[in-house]
Structure 1
Amino acid sequence: MPSNNLEPQESIQRRGYVADFLGTCVQPPSLEPDIQSDAVLWEGKEFIPYTHFSLSMSKSRHFARWVAWNIDGDGMKLISRAGLSFSKDPRLPAEFQVGNELYSGNRLDRGHLARRADLLWGELPEAQQANRDSFFYSNITPQMDDFNQSSQNGIWGRLEDALYEDVDVENLRVNVIAGPVFRTDDRMYRGVALPSEYWKMLVFQDQGVLKARVFLLTQDLDQLRAILALDEFRVYQITLSELQERTQLLFPPVLDLACAMPAMRVFSERQPLESADDITW
């Protein structure tokens, strides 16, 4: 039976993303100098900790630039989301967070960046707090309903599951770093610039070797006005250099080798992933 998560708030310290979770230190990305002043600071720091994840917020875009989280596949709990609601993080200025005003009366989902199910591990009180923390709007971005909803069974929602199915992940432990791509031509909607691309990096140990794989999702936001859409999003496997160029984020040197891939065609000639079988792990 799912465990009840409706107890009062625990006072568990929010440690956030743990860099040495895999035995090799993998720091989250840092901002290029040109955008460092855009970071929302918490206690003077850019990295904002939650339970099992951390993130960096953008003042100008009001969404997280990146979210980094740890997954302990051996310690997962089954916890209901019943009774939980989305809310702004009271530790952060409300004006830098987008709330429910963006999502009512349209096809936009409140999409978790750090996937809720990934965070529900550890001792039960800790897992329950991670469950609640995942519903802060700082961990939410607008995502078209058909790629965010698990019922769609798309590649994007199954990346972590596909990794566990296809790779002998050491100790069932994975780091994930993900976020939106902020473009100058992103569509404005209700006063908010909507990201049209999202990225995700999976970092893991495979037979003692640190590996990382990067993925990009593009969504067609013109479908906000459509009743039926046949091709609203695509998922691509990309390189670390392509990710850094898109995001203005700086990733630690340890990921240069971990992300090494066979030669890939230029992005404009690359085919989207049709199924998880197309992923190069």
Structure 2
Amino acid sequence: MVQNQKLGTSGYSSGFLGNELEPPALDAALSDDAVQLDGSAAIPYTHFSLALSKSRGFARWVAWNIDGGSIRKVSRNGIPFVKDSRIPAQFQNGDELYSGNRLDRGHLARRADLVWGSETEARSANKDSFFFTNIAPQMDDFNQSSKDGVWGRLEDAVFADADVQDLKVTAFGGPIFQDNDREYRGVRLPREYWKILAYVASGEFKSRAFLLTQNLNPFEALDLDEFRAFQVSTEELEERTGLRFADAMQDADARTSLRAAGEREPLGGLADIQW
């Protein structure tokens, strides 16, 4: 199903936290693979924007703003997952990938993060979050990863555990593409995901980076221990993704060890995060 999307949506706001925080930059090779909309690789929706890979059919990055002070309760009932008619359908992985298996249609920018502002804005963002451009394949236990559901609760945790100024957070996230990703139904499925949360606390700009690994096997049951979430550095995510993040995020992260994922302990719970 393809659904029309009104042009002119505001998209991600780089000045949301008070100073400019540009979305990830694509190097030359990645830029050639990016879907262009009106001459730009940044495709706007309500409260978020993304860059879409032609070759993989998933977003390389999604950038979104969260206004925790004006979040609204908006029902998701009756909203279908749909392709965006502004973009050629062949560059979007739709229901043909997700039907009849354990793959979830996983939101990259969380629906709950986007439904803020006026009632009209919140409802528009709610609907926009269901475009397949904001969706990636996640095993059905994905958001319960690392024992305490760390991955699915990162945004909630920053509000609970950090003194977030004005209750505003900017988030970035997406899959990590590798040449040896497993192919399923003609689509290579990403097995790693990344996320960065940026915010201001006590007048100080902070940025925290995270990595999740999942063993994707649509044919077998998975134990929750198959998932691993780690707090990492922005530098490591640049190495893994090929993206370039804003210098301010490089300077403000937790400077977590660059040890390989197999050589360090995953986050056992939200209390392990260095905010």
Q: TM-score, normalised by structure 1?
A: 0.92
Is 1:264 aligned to residue 257 of structure 2?
yes
Alignment partner, residue 271 of structure 2: 277
Preserved contact between residue 144 and residue 224 of structure 2 (Cα < 8 Å): no
Which whole-Å CA distance do the structure 1 matches of 2:72 and 2:148 have between them? 21
Task: Find the partner of 1:217 among 197, 209, 212.
Answer: 212
Alignment partner, residue 114 of structure 2: 119
Preserved contact between residue 111 and residue 148 of structure 1 (Cα < 8 Å): no
Preserved contact between residue 10 and residue 125 of structure 1 (Cα < 8 Å): no
Alignment partner, residue 245 of structure 2: 251
Preserved contact between residue 144 and residue 151 of structure 2 (Cα < 8 Å): no
Residue 264 of structure 1 deviates from its aligned partner by 2.2
Cα deviation digits, residues 57-92 of structure 1 (max 9, x gap): 001101000000000000010000011000000111
* Within-5 A mapping of 1:173-252: 173-222=168-217, 224-252=218-246
Counterpart amino acid of residue 44 in structure 1: G
Preserved contact between residue 109 and residue 148 of structure 1 (Cα < 8 Å): no
Task: Find the partner of 2:66 among 42, 66, 71.
Answer: 71
* Within-5 A mapping of 1:31-110: 31-110=26-105
Unaligned runs of 5+ in 1: 1-8
Q: Secondary structure at the match of 1:213?
A: strand
Bigger drift between 11-20 and 28-37 goes to 11-20
Identity %: 55
Residue 11 of structure 1 deviates from its aligned partner by 6.3
Unaligned runs of 5+ in 2: none
Alignment partner, residue 18 of structure 2: 23
Bigger drift between 127-136 and 249-258 goes to 249-258
Counterpart amino acid of residue 208 in structure 1: G
Is 1:139 aligned to residue 131 of structure 2?
no
Cα deviation digits, residues 161-208 of structure 1 (max 9, x gap): 111111000000000000000000000000000000000000000111
Measured at CA, do residues 22 and 220 of structure 1 come closer, stay the same or move farther in structure 2, by a change above 3 Å?
A: same
Measured at CA, do residues 242 and 228 of structure 1 come closer, stay the same or move farther in structure 2, by a change above 3 Å?
A: closer
Q: How many residues align?
A: 270
Which whole-Å CA distance do the structure 1 matches of 2:200 and 2:222 have between them? 42
Is 1:154 aligned to residue 149 of structure 2?
yes
Counterpart amino acid of residue 193 in structure 1: R
Cα deviation digits, residues 223-279 of structure 1 (max 9, x gap): x22135352211001111110000000112121211142x52612421000000000
Measured at CA, do residues 56 and 206 of structure 1 come closer, stay the same or move farther in structure 2, by a change above 3 Å?
A: same
Q: TM-score, normalised by structure 2?
A: 0.94
RMSD: 1.8
Which whole-Å CA distance do the structure 2 matches of 1:136 and 1:187 have between them? 24
Which whole-Å CA distance do the structure 2 matches of 1:23 and 1:230 have between them? 39
Which whole-Å CA distance do the structure 2 matches of 1:227 and 1:66 have between them? 29
